[in-house]
Structure 1
Amino acid sequence: MISTGWDGTVGLIALDRHERRNALDLEHCRGLAAAVAEQVEQGARALVLTGEGSTFCAGADLDGVYGDEFRDALYTALRSVLDAPVPVLAAINGPAVGAGAQLSLAADLRVAGPEAYFAVPTARNGLAVDPWTVRRLSLLAGGGPARALLLAGERLAATTAHERGLVDRIGSHADAVSWAREIAELAPLSLRYAKLALNSLDTEVPDADLERAYDACWASEDAAEASRARAERRAPRFHGR
């Protein structure tokens, strides 16, 4: 199942499939996409995604991985995280393997426990990840680690991933939620534009969308609120307008 909850304006989503180490099947891919959409619709200002137990996500459930229907559902789920108009933090509490590694890459920020690691063992099972995954992994972790993961089937430990830039912070789920609470206080339109602009480095984002998001920041009530808050020596209260 996909578990959801709230911490203030932070939406909490967890893969909860202990018997399969949170491996993704068709049902859970669809459930994840639905959970992201639902929490955004309900006003989440940030999302934290994790796995229950000691594994973030062991990858795709190999019993169904070879079907086109599963593959479409997986990439729809990844795209839901990538395209969410709010920051998504992955709290990587354990191994992130294959589709689990892809899910962590789709998030905007990654907080990993010291016992976590990343692996993309496609060469061990005759499969492949899409070009976006290769670009994203290379952009975040660097060309060397990306090649070691994809060509040599190696694991990348959380501490090494942190040194390389793939992991933003070493910490727990609670640390990820705390960070998300801080982010949720920032200007939503500014965050949305920044996410679009950053995603445009490895994902096709129409120039018109970037321009609209950029202009919306400068014309927003939140920009005026920030100016008032500076004059009044108080913290701004942003509403995404």
Structure 2
Amino acid sequence: MPDAPVLSSERDGDVVLLTLRRPERRNALNTELCRAIHAAVDEAVEAGARVLVVTGEGTAFCSGADLGGVYGDEFLDALYGMLHHLAKVPVPIVAAVNGPAIGAGTQLAMACDLRVADESAVFAVPTGRNGMAVDAWTIRTLAQLAGSGPARRLMLAAESLDRDAALGHGLADRSGTLDVAIDWARDIATLAPLSLAHNKLVLNGSAADDDAIAASFTAVWASEDVREGAAARAEKRRPTFTGR
């Protein structure tokens, strides 16, 4: 029999739900799953999805890197290639954190743009307990999202943040289940795609992206959507954006 897929992709209108399907390993990331996420994100964006939602099957969002796997350049390239790619794709990604997000699980949640956490969500990056390391992007992004104090406690004391602490510090944006995350994604999908892509580029970009940011700014103001927004205001109706 063929192996069961490690990731599923389901489309609901303009929203695509990606579900990690390794519940027997608490959705731990291995090379295969990292590559599957990378490819599925590209396929969804190319097919016109406006928002992606990422969640885990079972009781864990993602328990981290698969400790039964082999740690080497191939895995690290797949992991960080996927994480950094999620931060660059031009559509918003919502993480529905349905349980523990440990190590690479917290990294995956942070690579998404918004995080909805249910009551069982826990965030941690316990490299001090396992003798490993994460890249500078992970630590700096954690500090930007949760603040320097919580980031220091997670990285230097191997502490964790539960759902309420994550909400209080800004690592999680909303409390709720997968249904809450999907409803939020549907609302976001009605917004202007070019504007969201520009905003994400600025939020996640660096000085190296200045030319792309300038071009994106110009494209938004030259778009049909900016004219649709003005017409909708004048006509007192909800705008219908096409991403053009």
Classify the TM-score, shorter chain. Answer: over 0.9
CA distance in 2, matches of 1:65, 1:123: 19
- In the alignment, the residues of structure 1 paired with residue 207 and residue 96 of structure 2 have an alpha-carbon distance, to the nearest angstrom, of 26
Kept in 2: contact 1:199–1:205 (CA 8 A):
no
> Is the 1:45–1:87 Cα contact (8 Å) retained in structure 2?
yes
1:179 aligns with 2:184: yes
Cα distance in 1 for residues equivalent to 2:74 and 2:97: 27
Question: Is 2:27 aligned against 1:22?
Answer: yes
Q: Which of 188, 196, 201 is residue 196 of structure 1 equivalent to?
A: 201
SS in 1 for 2:229: helix
Determine helix, strand or coil for the equivalent of 1:140: helix
Shift of 1:184: 0.3
Determine if the alignment matches structure 1 residue 219 to structure 2 residue 228: no
Residue by residue over 1:28-84, the C-alpha shift from the partner in whole angstroms, topping out at 9 and shown as x without a partner, is: 010010010000011100000000111000000123352110000001111221111
What is aligned with 1:94? 99
Q: TM-score, normalised by structure 2?
A: 0.96
State the partner residue of 1:77.
Answer: 82
Q: 2:14 aligns with which of 4, 9, 13?
A: 9
1:130 matches 2:132: no
The separation in 2 between residues aligned to 1:107 and 1:227, in whole angstroms, is 30
Separation in 1, partners of 2:127, 2:99: 19
Q: Which one of the candidate residues 170, 174, 178 is aligned to 1:169?
A: 174
- 1:180-238 Cα offsets, whole Å, 9 max, x none, are 000000000000000011112xx564100100111111110000011111111111110
1:144 paired with 2:149, answer yes
Question: How far has the Cα of 1:88 moved from its partner?
Answer: 0.3
Name the SS for the 1:166 alignment partner: coil
Q: TM-score, normalised by structure 1?
A: 0.97
Indicate if the aligned counterparts of 1:10 and 1:181 stay in contact, CA closer than 8 A: yes
Matching residue of 2:3: none
Q: Using the aligned pairs only, state the percent identity.
A: 57
CA distance in 2, matches of 1:205, 1:183: 28
Q: Please, which runs of 5 or more residues in structure 2 have no aligned partner?
A: 1-5
- Structure 2 counterpart of 1:52: 57
TM-superposition CA deviations, 1:152-180 (whole Å, max 9, x none): 11111111110011110011100000000
Residue 10 of structure 2: SS of its match in structure 1?
strand
Q: Could you tell me how far apart the structure 1 residues matched to 2:51 and 2:30 are?
A: 25
1:175 counterpart SS class: helix
1:50/1:173 contact within 8 Å kept: yes
Partner of residue 210, structure 1: 213
Q: Do 1:29 and 1:77's aligned partners in 2 also have CA atoms closer than 8 Å?
A: yes
Whether 2:221 is the aligned partner of 1:234: answer no
Is 1:33 aligned to residue 38 of structure 2?
yes
User: Which consecutive unaligned segments of at least 5 residues does structure 1 have?
Assistant: none
Amino acid of the structure 1 residue aligned with 2:71 = Y
CA-to-partner distance for each residue in 1:71-105, whole Å, 9 max, x for gaps?
A: 00001111221111100000000000000000000
Structure 1, 216-225 or 76-85: larger mean CA deviation: 76-85
